[in-house]
Structure 1
Amino acid sequence: MAIVGVMGSGTTEWNDLAAPLGTWIAQSGHDLLTGAGKGVMLSVSRAFSGTKGRTGRCIGIVPTMPDAVLGFAPLAGYPNPFIDLPILTPLPRREPGATAEALSRNHVNVLTSDIVIALPGGHGTLDEISLALRYPRPVMCLGPDEAFASVPPEVGRSTRLDDIFRFITAQTAMKQSSGSAAR
């Protein structure tokens, strides 16, 4: 199946969108990838992990800080308790005002995902949408239009979960029919 990256706010859960999305991803047999934090990441991971009979893993790309003993250690509050596979990266979180060329853990989030779904968020989420376009990954936004006002018009968006489910299903089918199980 696919690794579905769900990006969004690190503070607001958007539970009415994130929870049913996490449940559907789990029921569909996909893996879930998030930034391993709070907000949307917590809500979607909680729903995914709580789905009975799931076969996929909940992957979290964990931001870190230098540590004299471990080399790098997770930032406080990371990973959230629903992450099955935490992946520590020495790359920093995307800082406001960083140049487009600046490397961040957002690159790992997007490049590891087969499909990117963006819920409302801040500058980090907008960066992940831009990276999905740059490193062509299928991307679609879920949430109110005003949350994505600065997103390029070629990025699909919807307020309906059914549209997102159809998008993921279609992208997964295209990937399987092209025989590109590995990148």
Structure 2
Amino acid sequence: MPIYRAMQHGERTITNRPVIVIARLKAKPLLAGQLVAALLLAGLALGQAWPVRADGVGAMLRAILFGDALATAAMLAAAYGLWTCRRLWRQRARYIFHDGARLYRGGDLSWPLESIRDVVVERGGAGVPALRLVVDDDSEVTRPLVLLPLLDGSAEAVRGGVLFAAAGMRGVPGGVTVN
């Protein structure tokens, strides 16, 4: 059972360690994203199916799936956006957490706490600020943690919580302030 499903059902984790939640996601942006993506998907599908309405269901499905390639690609992007917002909605209460050994982001990514060196704020390609992990694995890239507009709480508190958990694994608490 994946870690986020186990947590939804009140279990501890796969490793049977207590879970400590560091950050949650805001509900309103995720609901708005789901609504916009669903409306966009429905509008694009209806726009594709409208001209062939009188020709039957088979012609309508062929027009939606194989009609305009750009509209089909836009429908796939809207469906992916809907799926992503729905997945994040389900994980919003426990998005960043640790179990004493690993730091988890949602249910899909995790890092050993002893390999985390820092948490930084960087702007992505679209200019949206995000918290990113600096992990000691001989790599030059940082790992995405959470977009700041989706974060419920302050970035400093999340940074402090992650660094405090990582410092606890090294045995010596670092200079971290948890709000």
Q: Shorter-chain TM-score: what band?
A: under 0.3
Q: TM-score, normalised by structure 2?
A: 0.25
For the pair shown, which has the larger CA radius of gyration, 1 or 2?
Answer: 2
